[in-house]
Structure 1
């Protein structure tokens, strides 16, 4: 039974890994304007953004090789990247959860199915989820400083700032193009 359970767990986690690596990239590429992406990154073939996936694959393999064979400096670099992305990856979920109450209240949007029947229950869950993620982010940033590791706190703050600046620069560049239409 242990072996069957182990095999099923490996297969399930492998499937989850590929889904987590593929689904966000596909959604980002297909959900934004093609002019926002450089070169052939936005081309979707056979329902998949193959070029973007190739770039993602190359970066991930390079990071794995760098950490595996790069020594102590590469491990420290990777740890700083992880600190930068911990908070940066959850901030979009805070924005989505915070906007859910307004989405629920807007009656002009067609909603094919409803989980929360009333606006009041949607508002309660909106506040709870947003507060929980915000609370977790706050302590992810503050806890290392409390333990005396100010460097980790700074990297945790620098991540969202860095990724926000990159996104704003990309979007500003997109808006300056003569053929761009603001979505």
Structure 2
């Protein structure tokens, strides 16, 4: 079953196919192109083509931006909320990782040298036990760091509990 969402301009809707939704779901759970290809009995090139087409439909470029657009557009169900406390600097890193289509653009947005920006992303991914950058986006939505239709929106007030993540590798 295809899912429709209305673009912010209100003039048209986007329709994703069942296969595209399946591919998105795999990426959201942190799977690689190779493992998605095996699970769906297609080639890695076909998985990449699906991602490119999804990006075109959602007006987003790059895996993290495509997943964020899929969550905010209602194409993926919201992940189960997780409690966590993150500094404003960590929240900025998270949002920059989603907003930038390349590591270089992310470093520019953070006003850091590329190696330092990558180190900060890697440390934050390790802190939340993200399996991949795609899974990192899912966790960003689960923790409430990535909200709304723009990643530059003011974050919600964090709870005071320690960051946790379900023990299951497939969650959220």
* TM bucket normalised to smaller: under 0.3
Return the structure number with greater relative CO, CA threshold 8 A, min gap 6. 2
Is the helix fraction higher in 1 or 2?
A: 1
Normalised by the length of structure 1, the TM-score is 0.23
Normalised by the length of structure 2, the TM-score is 0.24
Is the strand fraction higher in 1 or 2?
A: 2
Instruction: Say which one has the larger Rg.
Output: 1
